[in-house]
């Protein structure tokens, strides 16, 4: 093996570009990626893709002469015929980055992992906040990119407007005083997509992307999750060296041995070279999304890192004192990328709001999560993960709320509602009516009750709560404790009251003094 930092030039081989697609939500990133996948992964293989592992590889065949190329593009015929001439096939690896705002963090890592990016801008909408955010990330990470102006088949497509808007955001296209290549495309008709792929290969050539086949294998973690049948699965992208089954592997927080290696189509492989996406089974603990991995000698394996399946989610609920009026959450998500995205947002909210995370982990909601929620008086927030019957029953019988959704914003909305509830001023005192004695005059009703919380005060205004809703208000005309006039009666004590209201009181009514 050679030193990764100083590879011998004679060992250097060309590798395909790793490309991330970025841009505003709904501008067509997924549709474009789908179109490229369908038309450039040979049909019989494409059938094998059951679920994305975060990246896939395509083969691009050279374009014909410009004239026929144009006519083909215009007729919307996708290029599917593989050539016999193997040398003419060139490869591109696409990172399937989630385009949602909530995934900014992963996306910015996507741009780091990627050699090149495609900035997608819809021709009908032009530049939007996430387009600008993407431009910023590309600039900060110094990632080369080409622009795809999408949805050009739409009636209201305005390519010139997009070009001008890009220019005013410092993205200067070729022919517009700059060097950045662009291609108008339609992911619906396929127009321009082959030209876009060619532009990417051209940009990659300029970048001179190489790897050292004798180097220690290394790359990045794209996703990591727990599969019930197969155990911990990490999808990775190889950037240097050649990764092989049986090798020991480590990241800053996790380690293991590659027991199973699969390519992006789910086919087992003995080894994979850059820039291949790969699925690895054999990590002992869950690696973090975006971490770098490398193959290691067994003796070099570090101790297990700080994050592993048994340690996550074991915050000490006892550390939360009863006095702290905070919303306590236990976060669950189907995979580590989703967990990281959601937990990142919740942590940002926690900087400003009374909110504490008692634990976070990958997988379905289990009994331990519910037990932790019971002892920590927490709400369980489950992103793309569910609770099986057992844990759900345990939660229901202990009045533990499990909020589960596939949509991150629904979960954030629920958290917001809980916080609003929490921020409501605590009532000064509540009294439950246990007996009604005299109701001849609604303004002079005589009732008896018990102070349920706080202190109940003479002359106070109160709200009347019946069956969990406020049905009216009233005022204490006279308050007595053990048949003597009292200024206030404290929690747990009984009181007799002369009260005035439009409403006729009933036993069971709760009188709530708010200030």
Q: Which residue has the tokens 């387009």?
A: 131
DSSP secondary structure string for all residues of 341-379: HHHHHHHHHHTTSSEEEEEEEESSB-HHHHHHHHHHT-E
Nearer to ligand GDP, 75 or 459 (CB): 75
> What stretches of 80-175 adopt beta strand conformation (E)?
90-95, 116-122, 144-150
CB neighbourhood size of 251 (10 A): 25
User: In whole angstroms, how large is the CA radius of gyration of the chain?
Assistant: 31
Tokens coding 473: 């208000």
Nearer to ligand GDP, 188 or 353 (CB): 188
Judged by CB under 6 A, which of 151, 239, 332, 384 binds ligand GDP? 151
Supply the minimum distance, in Å, between the C-beta of residue 45 and ligand GDP. 22
Judged by CB under 6 A, which of 15, 19, 29, 196 binds ligand GDP? 29
Nearer to ligand GDP, 27 or 163 (CB): 27
Supply the minimum distance, in Å, between the C-beta of residue 419 and ligand GDP. 29
- Using CB under 6 A as the binding rule, whether residue 26 contacts ligand GDP is answered as yes
Supply the minimum distance, in Å, between the C-beta of residue 129 and ligand GDP. 13
Nearer to ligand GDP, 26 or 364 (CB): 26
- Give the interface segment with ligand GDP, choosing from 50-58, 67-75, 150-158, 281-289 (CB under 6 A): 150-158
Q: Within positions 283 to 312, which residues make up the interface with ligand GDP, using CB under 6 A?
A: none
Judged by CB under 6 A, which of 2, 4, 30, 104 binds ligand GDP? 30
- Using CB under 6 A as the binding rule, whether residue 162 contacts ligand GDP is answered as no
Nearer to ligand GDP, 93 or 150 (CB): 150
Supply the minimum distance, in Å, between the C-beta of residue 415 and ligand GDP. 24
Supply the minimum distance, in Å, between the C-beta of residue 56 and ligand GDP. 15
In this structure, what are the phi and psi dihedrals at residue 191, rounded to the nearest 5 degrees?
-55, 130
Supply the minimum distance, in Å, between the C-beta of residue 74 and ligand GDP. 15
- Using CB under 6 A as the binding rule, whether residue 353 contacts ligand GDP is answered as no
- Using CB under 6 A as the binding rule, whether residue 194 contacts ligand GDP is answered as no
- Give the interface segment with ligand GDP, choosing from 46-54, 145-153, 352-360, 499-507 (CB under 6 A): 145-153
List of residues 6+ apart from 233 with CB closer than 8 A: 224, 225, 226, 227, 279, 280, 281
> What stretches of 18-138 adopt beta strand conformation (E)?
18-23, 55-60, 90-95, 116-122
In this structure, what are the phi and psi dihedrals at residue 58, rounded to the nearest 5 degrees?
-125, 160
- Give the interface segment with ligand GDP, choosing from 80-88, 184-192, 387-395, 468-476 (CB under 6 A): 184-192
Q: What is the DSSP letter of 462?
A: E
143 in Cβ contact with 116 (< 8 Å): yes
DSSP secondary structure string for all residues of 234-265: EEEEEEES-EETT-EEE-SS-EEEEEEEEETT
Nearer to ligand GDP, 98 or 219 (CB): 98
Judged by CB under 6 A, which of 153, 158, 367, 514 binds ligand GDP? 153
57 in Cβ contact with 92 (< 8 Å): yes
Question: For residues 96 and 114, what is the distance between their CA atoms, to the nearest angstrom?
Answer: 11
- What would the x/- binding string for ligand GDP be over residues 50 to 89, using CB under 6 A? ----------------------------------------
Containing 31, the helix (H) or strand (E) segment is: helix 29-40
Supply the minimum distance, in Å, between the C-beta of residue 85 and ligand GDP. 31
CB neighbourhood size of 367 (10 A): 14
Supply the minimum distance, in Å, between the C-beta of residue 35 and ligand GDP. 8
Supply the minimum distance, in Å, between the C-beta of residue 131 and ligand GDP. 10
Tokens coding 482: 């053990």
Cα atoms in the 13 Å half-sphere on the side-chain side of 430: 13
Supply the minimum distance, in Å, between the C-beta of residue 239 and ligand GDP. 25
Tokens coding 18: 């790793």
Question: For residues 263 and 42, what is the distance between their CA atoms, to the nearest angstrom?
Answer: 15
Nearer to ligand GDP, 120 or 215 (CB): 120
Judged by CB under 6 A, which of 7, 16, 17, 28 binds ligand GDP? 28
Tokens coding 279: 């699925």
CB neighbourhood size of 302 (10 A): 12
- Using CB under 6 A as the binding rule, whether residue 25 contacts ligand GDP is answered as yes
Nearer to ligand GDP, 199 or 513 (CB): 199
Q: Which of 378, 380, 504, 488 is nearest to 433 (CA)?
A: 504
Q: Within positions 85 to 144, which residues make up the interface with ligand GDP, using CB under 6 A?
A: 99
Chain contacts with ligand GDP (rule: CB under 6 A): 25-31, 99, 150-151, 153-154, 186-188
């Amino acid at each position: 093996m050679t030193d990764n930092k100083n590879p011998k030039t004679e060992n250097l081989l060309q590798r395909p570009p790793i490309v991330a697609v970025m841009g505003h939500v709904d501008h067509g990133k997924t549709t474009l990626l789908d179109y490229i996948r369908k038309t450039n992964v040979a049909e019989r293989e494409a059938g094998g893709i059951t679920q994305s592992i975060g990246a896939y590889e395509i083969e691009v065949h050279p374009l014909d002469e410009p004239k026929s190329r144009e006519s083909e593009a215009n007729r919307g015929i996708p290029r599917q015929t593989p050539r016999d001439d193997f040398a003419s096939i060139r490869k591109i690896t696409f990172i399937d980055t989630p385009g949602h705002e909530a995934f900014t963090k992963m996306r910015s890592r996507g741009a780091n992992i990627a050699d090149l990016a495609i900035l997608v801008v819809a021709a009908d909408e032009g530049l939007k906040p996430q387009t600008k955010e993407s431009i910023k990330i590309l600039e900060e990470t110094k990632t080369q990119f080409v622009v795809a102006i999408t949805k050009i088949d739409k009636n209201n497509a305005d390519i010139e407007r997009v070009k001008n808007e890009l220019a005013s955001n410092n993205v200067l296209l070729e022919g517009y005083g700059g060097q950045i290549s662009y291609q108008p495309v339609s992911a619906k008709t396929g127009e321009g997509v082959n030209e876009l792929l060619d532009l990417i290969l051209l940009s990659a050539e300029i970048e001179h992307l190489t790897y050292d086949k004798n180097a220690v294998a290394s790359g990045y973690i794209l996703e990591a999750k727990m599969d019930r049948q197969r155990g911990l699965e990490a999808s990775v992208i190889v950037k240097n060296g050649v990764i092989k089954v049986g090798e020991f592997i480590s990241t800053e927080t996790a380690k293991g041995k590659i027991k199973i290696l699969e390519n992006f189509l789910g086919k087992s492989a003995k080894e994979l070279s850059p820039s291949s996406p790969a699925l690895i089974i054999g990590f002992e603990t869950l690696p973090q999304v975006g971490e770098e991995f490398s193959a290691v000698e067994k003796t070099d394996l570090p101790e297990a890192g700080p994050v592993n399946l048994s340690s996550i989610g074991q915050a000490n609920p006892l550390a939360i004192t009863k006095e702290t009026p905070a919303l306590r959450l236990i976060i669950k998500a189907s995979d580590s990328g989703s967990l990281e995205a959601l937990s990142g947002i919740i942590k940002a909210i926690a900087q400003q709001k009374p909110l504490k995370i008692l634990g976070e982990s990958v997988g379905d909601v289990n009994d331990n999560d519910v037990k932790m929620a019971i002892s920590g008086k927490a709400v369980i927030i489950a992103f793309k993960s569910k609770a099986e019957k057992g844990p759900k029953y345990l939660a229901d019988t202990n009045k533990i709320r499990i909020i589960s959704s596939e949509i991150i914003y629904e979960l954030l909305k629920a958290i917001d509602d809980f916080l609003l509830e929490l921020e409501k001023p605590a009532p000064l005192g509540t009294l439950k009516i246990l007996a009604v004695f005299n109701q001849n005059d609604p303004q002079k009703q005589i009732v008896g009750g018990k102070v349920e919380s706080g202190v109940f005060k003479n002359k106070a205004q109160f709200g009347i709560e019946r069956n969990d809703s406020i049905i009216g208000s009233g005022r204490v005309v006279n308050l007595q404790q053990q048949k003597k006039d009292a200024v206030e009666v404290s929690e747990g004590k009984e009181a007799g009251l002369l009260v005035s209201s439009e409403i006729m009181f009933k036993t069971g009514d709760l009188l709530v003094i708010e200030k």
